[in-house]
Structure 1
Amino acid sequence: MSLQQVLLVDDEPDIRALVSLILQRLGGLTVRAASSGQEALDILQAGFEPDIILLDVMMPDMDGVQTLAEMRAMPEVAPLPICFLTAKIQPADIARWRALGVDDVLTKPFIPAKLVEQVRSCWEYVQRDRS
C-alpha cells in the first residue's frame, strides 16, 4: 500500500488551492478537496477512499474536531490517518486533539517544500503504528 490519494478539508479556497497544487506537483498525489466538514463526509459516504485526510481545525458550521468525531465513527474511515492543519498550535490543544483521535498536527503557514514530507511522515507513522 502506498500514499496516493488525499482528502483535503479547508474552508479557505486559497489554502485548498495551494495545498492541492503542492501535493499534486511536488508529491505526485491525487487530491480531492472539500470546503466544509459536511462536504468531506458526503465525499467519503459517496465512496471516495483517501489514504490520508488533512483537516482544518477552525471551520464554520462543523469544525475540525466535530468532523474528526464523525469520521472516526465511520468504520471504513476510522483506521485512516487524519492530520489537522491549523494555525492554532498550543501544546494543550495538540494533546487534546490526539486524545480525540487525530494522528498529527501540521501548522499553517507551512513551508511548501516540507509539506509533502510532513504528509508522508504522518501517513508512514500511522502505517507502522497500526500494522
Structure 2
Amino acid sequence: MPTKSILLIEHEASIREVLHTCLIEFGGWRVTLSNSIQEGVDLCTTICPNAILLDTSTSETDALIFLEQLKQYSITQSIPILLITARANWFTLRQLHQMGFAGAIAKPFNPSTISTQVSSLLGWNDGD
C-alpha cells in the first residue's frame, strides 16, 4: 500500500522541523512542508495529501481567509485537516467536526506519540 502523505503547515521553523522528523520517523509518512497557510493553499493545488496538519497560531494578516480557502479545498477533495494548537482543549471533537476539522492535537505535543495521535484522529491503522 502506498505511503500516506501529510501537508504540514507550521510557521515556526524549529517546531516544523521537529514535527517533520517525527512524522517521517515514527509515522513513516511523506511530509510536505509549508510555513504559511497561503503557501499551504497553493500547495494543495499541486499535491494531493492524505491529510493536512495545521498550526493555528499564525501571524498572517489574512489567516482566516486562507483558512477558509484551505477548508473549502480540503472538503471538496475530501482531505481531513487536523489542528495543532495550544487551544486544542477548548473544543470537543464534535465541535471541531462541525467547524470542518478532523480533530486537534494539543501543544506542547509529545514528539514520540505525535504520529500515534495523528493516526488515531484520522482512523489510519498501522501499515496504512
User: CA deviation digits over 1:59-84, x for unaligned, max 9?
Assistant: 11243x54442123227754111100
Aligned to 2:35: 35
Partner amino acid for 1:49?
C
The gaps in structure 1 that reach 5 residues or longer are 126-131
Deviates more, 1:9-18 or 1:82-91: 82-91
For 1:85 and 1:38, the matched residues in 2 are separated by 17
Aligned to 2:118: 119
Partner amino acid for 2:32?
R
Q: How many residues align?
A: 123
Structure 1 residues 24 and 75: alpha-carbon distance in aligned structure 2, compared to 1, 3 A threshold: closer
Share of identical aligned residues, percent? 26
User: When the two structures are superposed, what TM-score results if normalisation uses the length of structure 2?
Assistant: 0.82
Q: How far 1:91 sits from its partner (Å)?
A: 2.8
Cα RMSD between the aligned structures?
2.4
User: When the two structures are superposed, what TM-score results if normalisation uses the length of structure 1?
Assistant: 0.80
User: CA deviation digits over 1:12-67, x for unaligned, max 9?
Assistant: 0011100000111111111001000000011111x20111100011111243x544
The gaps in structure 2 that reach 5 residues or longer are none
Partner amino acid for 1:30?
R
Structure 1 runs (4+) greater than 6 angstroms displaced: none
For 1:37 and 1:97, the matched residues in 2 are separated by 18
For 1:75 and 1:85, the matched residues in 2 are separated by 17
SS, match of residue 28 in structure 2: coil
Partner amino acid for 2:33?
A
For 1:67 and 1:107, the matched residues in 2 are separated by 22
Contact 1:5 1:29 in 2 (8 A): yes
For 1:59 and 1:49, the matched residues in 2 are separated by 23
Contact 1:55 1:84 in 2 (8 A): yes
